[in-house]
Chains A and B, each alone.
Chain A
Amino acid sequence: MNTEIPSHGQPIDRFAAAISGEVYESVHSSSAIKSDKRQALLAGDYPNPKHLREIAGQIKQHTLESLDKYLPQAVESLERNGVRVHFAANGEEARQIIGSLLAARGAKKVVKSKSMATEEIHLNDYLAANGVDCIETDLGEFIVQIDGDHPSHIVTPIIHKNRRQIAKSFEKHGLGAYNDDPETITRRARKFMRDKYMSADAGITGANFVVAETGRLVLVTNEGNSRFSLAAPKLHIALVGIEKLVPSDRDLSVFLNLLVRSATGQQFTAYTEFISGPHASGQPSGPEEMHVVFLDNGRSDILAGDCREILRCIRCGACLNICPVYRQASGHAYRSVYPGPIGAVLSPLLAGEKFPSLADLPKASSLCGACNDACPVNIPIPDLLLRLRDKGKREHAPLASRGVPPMGGFAGLASQPALWKGALLAGHVMNYFPVEWVPVPPLSKWTAQRTLPEFRGGEFRKWWKQRRQR
Chain B
Amino acid sequence: MATCLCDAFFDDVARATVEVLEYLGCEVEFPEGQTCCGQPAFNSGDWPAARKVLRHLVDTFKGGEPIIVPSGSCAAMLYHGSLLAFEHETDLPEVEKVGQRTWEVLDFIVSGLGVKQWEGACEKKMAFHSSCHLRGSNSAEAARLLLGSLRGAEILPFKEQEQCCGFGGTFSVSFPAISADMGLLKLQNIREVKPDLLVAADMSCLMHLRGLSEKQGNPVPVRHAIQVLRDALVAEGKLR
Contacts and interface: CB of A to CB of B under 8 A. Distances in A.
A324 B182 contact: yes
B4 interface: yes
A146 B136 CA distance: 45
B164 A370 contact: yes
Interface stretch (A100-108, A161-169, A312-320, A361-369): A361-369
Contact of B35 (A12, A363, A415): A415
A446 B208 CA distance: 9
Given A393-B47, A415-B55, 8 more contacts: A16-B175, A322-B162, A393-B46, A401-B44, A442-B170, A450-B214, A451-B214, A460-B6
A411 B49 contact: yes
B35 A417 contact: yes
Interface string B1-25: 0101011111100110010000000
B194 interface: no
Contacts of A367: 43, 132, 168-169, 171
A304 interface: no
Q: Which of B40, B172, B174 has the most CB of A within 10 A?
A: B174
A408 B50 CA distance: 9
B91 interface: no
Interface string B43-72: 111111110110110001000000000000
A181 B162 CA distance: 33
A205 B173 CA distance: 43
A325 B164 CA distance: 9
A461 B180 contact: no
Q: State the main secondary structure of chain A at its contact with B.
A: helix
A386 B35 CA distance: 22
Interface string A392-415: 110000001111111110111111
Interface string B157-188: 00010111011111111111111111100000
Contacts of B43: 367, 386, 389
Interface residues of A, number: 71
Given A370-B162, A451-B214, A454-B9, A410 B135 contact: no
Contact of A445 (B33, B56, B176): B176
B168 A366 contact: yes
Given A453-B9, A453-B211, A407 B46 contact: yes
B26 interface: no
A456 B163 CA distance: 30
Given A411-B53, A449-B212, A456-B8, A13 B167 contact: no
A390 B85 CA distance: 9
A452 interface: yes
A416 B60 CA distance: 11
A54 interface: no
Contact of B45 (A32, A364, A369, A392): A392
A152 interface: no
Contacts of B177: 13-14, 16-17, 328
A461 B178 contact: no
Interface in A297-338: 322, 324-325, 328-329
A387 B132 CA distance: 19
Contact of A389 (B10, B45, B207): B45
Interface string A430-470: 00000000000110011011111111111111011001000
Given A424-B7, A441-B173, A453-B211, A366 B167 contact: yes
A414 to B, nearest CB: 4
Contacts of B172: 445-446
Contacts of A387: 84
A463 B135 contact: no
A383 interface: yes
Contact of A404 (B52, B53, B170): B170
B110 interface: no
A347 interface: no
Contacts of B38: 411, 414
Contacts of A352: none
B178 to A, nearest CB: 5
A119 interface: no
Interface in A139-194: none
B181 A16 contact: yes
Given A16-B181, A414-B36, A460-B6, A401 B45 contact: yes
Nearest to B134: A369
Contacts of B36: 410, 414
A364 B168 CA distance: 10
Contact of A450 (B7, B44, B45, B211): B211
Contacts of B169: 366-367
B85 to A, nearest CB: 8
A455 B9 contact: yes
A442 B168 CA distance: 14
Contact of B168 (A16, A32, A368, A400): A368
Contacts of A32: 160
Contacts of A324: 163-164, 166, 182
Nearest to A464: B30
Nearest to B56: A415
A369 B168 CA distance: 11
A323 B177 CA distance: 16
Interface in A255-276: none
Given A414-B53, A415-B55, A455-B8, A450 B180 contact: yes
